[in-house]
């Protein structure tokens, strides 16, 4: 009898462990909007920094070995979300994946091909294994608009299929796909798909089915233009396109000020190594400095997260494929371009200070007396953010220019100042100063494309160096 009791106890313990691990894995896949409606949180209430990469053709063009290589590379660089499309843009309905499978039988959204989705499963599961979320686009916009294969009924059915299949996986749902639904019939397709995804998730609380919409850069270039008041839209997403001089801070600010309050971010700013404004002969290609500017401009203007992209990586280009708009490197080389590795430094900086109280505040910066020196226009825009309690402030300086700041924005009797290098993630202490009044700071390097972040801390808080977490 004692042996039987012992065996039963061991079986119960094993069952408890399985259920516990399953619950933990399920919980890890859940995100929600913070109570102040500005940020995203994990299930345990800790902040989630959305650092995305546009891998639009991931499901369609990479085999399993390549997918694993790509995902591990992105995880090592601090990315948290991989944005990928199930019904991909580049002839994704008829051009098969590396295993010869297309996603739908006869391009019918109600007839998904199991073999294709087993490959999607593999990538989703591998992402989960290494701690990444998938920002899943059910379909690129062309398939729901100008090459429409959907009715409202089939869009709902397809959404329900996806929601049911991936309801326990780390998914952030992104509807749209580079299209603006300027007709009521187009918006209705996306709403039906959102309804289907939520229904397919079944036993999940609808609040845990996190969803947004990826638009084109035209008009406002934000999901808010069509769906801000829809309950399924949990946060707004922008696309600012592929020019380097865009007042992205204004676009973020417009959605930041909307009510009801929802988080906002840019889901597609200028890619690294992209023809600037699609005019390489006249304007050349974007570089790491360009993508860093958009990163800090948008985050400091109020974005809850940010998405990076590389022109070769989004299309998973290799020399045996037809290139789209002149990619410069094969995708497996482009994943190690400098801008990709530098994104993590912004994440480290923001996570090293109280995260959920960050607010945009340009009054931290005092405009210079000479009009043409005023921070605020073009590539030299200086952007500021701070903790709402005055415990810290960050000032992004895109070129090595002097900046005057208002130290009265910092609480406490003294201010600890630092220079943070967005290219390396290293911080250097400047000194301590009396709180109150103003002070001018000159970056360590005056280079035209060498950017810096000025960090101002309430010295009494004893924060670690910027970019580092407390032991």
Average pLDDT over residues 417-430: 98
Same domain, yes or no: 338 and 434: no
Average pLDDT over residues 232-242: 95
Tokens of 221: 């270039």
User: Residue 19 domain-assigned?
Assistant: no
Query: Final residue of a domain: which of 316, 351, 386?
Result: 351
Same domain, yes or no: 188 and 167: yes
* CA-based nearest residue to 226, from 307, 145, 136: 145
CB 418 within 8 A of CB 457: yes
User: Of 46-60, 284-298, 438-452, where does mean pLDDT reach its minimum?
Assistant: 438-452
User: Residue 344 domain-assigned?
Assistant: yes
Query: Final residue of a domain: which of 351, 369, 402?
Result: 351
What one-character DSSP code corresponds to residue 284?
-
- Please give the angle made by the CA atoms of 159, 160 and 166, to the nearest 5 degrees: 90
Same domain, yes or no: 298 and 241: yes
The structure tokens 């995880």 sit at: 75
User: Residue 20 domain-assigned?
Assistant: no
Q: Is 271 helix (H, G, I), strand (E, B) or coil?
A: coil
Residue 10: burial class (beta carbons within 10 Å; 0-12, 13-18, 19+): exposed
In this predicted model, what pLDDT tens digit does every residue of 260-288 receive, in sequence order?
999 999 999 999 999 999 999 999 999 99
Rounded Cα distance between 319 and 463, Å, is: 48
Task: Say yes or no to pLDDT of 398 above 60.
Answer: yes
Same domain, yes or no: 161 and 200: yes
| Structure confidence at residue 5 (pLDDT) | 42
User: Of 3-7, 50-54, 131-135, 252-256, where does mean pLDDT reach its minimum?
Assistant: 3-7
Rounded Cα distance between 274 and 270, Å, is: 7
Angle of helix 288-300 relative to helix 248-256, nearest 10 degrees, comes to 30
CB 136 within 8 A of CB 86: yes
* CA-based nearest residue to 172, from 302, 48, 296, 297: 48
Same domain, yes or no: 394 and 332: no
User: Residue 12 domain-assigned?
Assistant: no
Range of the domain at 377: 358-461
| Structure confidence at residue 395 (pLDDT) | 97
Task: Say yes or no to pLDDT of 28 above 60.
Answer: no
Confidence of residue 368 (pLDDT cuts 50, 70, 90): low
The structure tokens 């369609």 sit at: 60
Task: Say yes or no to pLDDT of 15 above 80.
Answer: no
Query: Final residue of a domain: which of 351, 373, 408?
Result: 351
CB 331 within 8 A of CB 67: no
CB 143 within 8 A of CB 189: no
User: Of 19-23, 133-137, 310-314, where does mean pLDDT reach its minimum?
Assistant: 19-23
Alpha-carbon Rg for the chain, nearest whole angstrom, is 23
| Integer angstrom CA distances of residue 252 from 80, 173, 221, 239, 245 | 21, 21, 10, 10, 15
Within 287-402, residue ranges assigned H as helices are 288-300, 311-314, 331-334, 338-351
Rounded Cα distance between 379 and 132, Å, is: 32
Average pLDDT over residues 72-77: 98
| Structure confidence at residue 30 (pLDDT) | 86
Is the backbone of residue 229 left (phi > 0), alpha (psi -120 to 50) or beta? alpha
Task: Say yes or no to pLDDT of 126 above 90.
Answer: yes
| Structure confidence at residue 204 (pLDDT) | 59
User: Residue 467 domain-assigned?
Assistant: no
What one-character DSSP code corresponds to residue 201?
T
Rounded Cα distance between 404 and 366, Å, is: 5
Same domain, yes or no: 189 and 248: yes
| Structure confidence at residue 446 (pLDDT) | 81
Same domain, yes or no: 186 and 155: yes
Share of the chain above pLDDT 70, in %: 90
User: Residue 17 domain-assigned?
Assistant: no
CATH of the domain at 402: 2.60.40
Please name the helix (run of DSSP H) or strand (run of DSSP E) that holds residue 454, with its range, or none.
strand 452-458
Same domain, yes or no: 193 and 331: yes
Confidence of residue 320 (pLDDT cuts 50, 70, 90): very high
Same domain, yes or no: 342 and 368: no
Same domain, yes or no: 269 and 393: no
Same domain, yes or no: 194 and 226: yes
In this predicted model, what pLDDT tens digit does every residue of 183-205 receive, in sequence order?
999 999 999 999 999 999 876 56
Task: Say yes or no to pLDDT of 22 above 80.
Answer: no
The structure tokens 């843009």 sit at: 89
CATH of the domain at 61: 3.20.20.80
Q: Looking at the chain, how many residues does it have?
A: 471
pLDDT, the chain, mean: 91
| Integer angstrom CA distances of residue 174 from 42, 135, 232 | 18, 6, 11
How many domains are there within the chain?
Answer: 2
| Structure confidence at residue 370 (pLDDT) | 45
| Structure confidence at residue 380 (pLDDT) | 86
Average pLDDT over residues 335-364: 98
Average pLDDT over residues 365-378: 60
Task: Say yes or no to pLDDT of 6 above 60.
Answer: no
Q: Which residue has the higher pLDDT, 243 or 26?
A: 243
Same domain, yes or no: 321 and 385: no
User: Residue 328 domain-assigned?
Assistant: yes
Please name the helix (run of DSSP H) or strand (run of DSSP E) that holds residue 442, with its range, or none.
none
User: Residue 15 domain-assigned?
Assistant: no
């Amino acid at each position: 009898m004692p042996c039987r009791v012992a065996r039963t106890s061991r079986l119960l313990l094993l069952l408890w462990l399985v259920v516990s691990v399953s619950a933990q894995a399920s919980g890890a896949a859940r995100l929600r909007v913070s109570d102040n409606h500005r940020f995203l949180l994990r299930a345990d209430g800790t902040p989630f920094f959305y650092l995305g990469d546009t891998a639009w053709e991931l499901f369609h063009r990479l085999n399993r070995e390549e997918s694993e290589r790509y995902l591990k590379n992105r995880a090592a660089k601090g990315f948290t979300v991989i944005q990928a499309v199930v019904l991909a843009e580049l002839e994704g309905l008829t051009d098969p994946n590396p295993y010869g499978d297309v996603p739908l039988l006869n391009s019918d959204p109600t007839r998904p091909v199991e073999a294709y989705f087993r490959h999607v499963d593999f990538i989703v599961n591998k992402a989960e294994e290494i701690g990444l979320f998938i920002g899943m686009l059910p379909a690129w916009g062309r398939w729901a608009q100008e090459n429409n294969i959907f009715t409202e009924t089939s869009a709902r059915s397809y959404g329900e299929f996806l929601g049911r299949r991936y309801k326990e996986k780390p998914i952030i749902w992104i509807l749209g796909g580079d299209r603006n639904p300027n007709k009521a019939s187009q918006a209705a397709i996306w709403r039906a798909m959102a309804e289907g995804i939520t229904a397919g998730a079944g036993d999940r609380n609808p609040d845990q089915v996190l969803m947004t919409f990826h638009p084109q850069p035209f008009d406002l270039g934000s999901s808010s233009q069509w769906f801000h008041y829809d309950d399924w839209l949990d946060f707004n997403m922008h696309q600012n396109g592929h020019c380097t001089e865009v007042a992205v801070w204004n676009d973020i600010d417009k959605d930041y000020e909307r009510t009801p309050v929802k988080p906002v971010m840019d889901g597609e700013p200028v890619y690294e190594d992209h023809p600037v404004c699609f005019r390489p002969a006249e304007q050349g290609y974007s570089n790491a400095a360009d993508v860093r500017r958009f990163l800090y401009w948008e985050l400091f203007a109020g974005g809850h997260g940010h998405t990076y992209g590389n022109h070769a990586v989004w299309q998973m280009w290799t020399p045996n494929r037809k290139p789209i708009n002149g990619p410069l490197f094969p995708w497996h080389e482009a994943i190690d371009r400098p801008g990709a590795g530098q994104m993590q430094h912004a994440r480290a900086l923001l996570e090293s200070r109280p995260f959920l109280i960050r607010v945009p505040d340009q009054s931290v910066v005092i405009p210079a007396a000479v009009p043409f020196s005023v921070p605020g226009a073009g590539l030299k825009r200086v952007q500021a953010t701070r903790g709402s309690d005055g415990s810290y402030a960050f000032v992004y300086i895109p070129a090595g220019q002097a900046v005057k700041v208002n130290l009265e924005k910092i609480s406490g009797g003294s201010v600890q100042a630092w220079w943070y290098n967005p290219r390396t993630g290293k911080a250097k202490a400047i000194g301590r100063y009396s709180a109150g009044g103003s002070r001018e700071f000159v970056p360590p390097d005056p280079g035209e494309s060498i950017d810096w972040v000025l960090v101002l801390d309430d010295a009494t808080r004893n924060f670690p160096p910027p970019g580092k977490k407390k032991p």
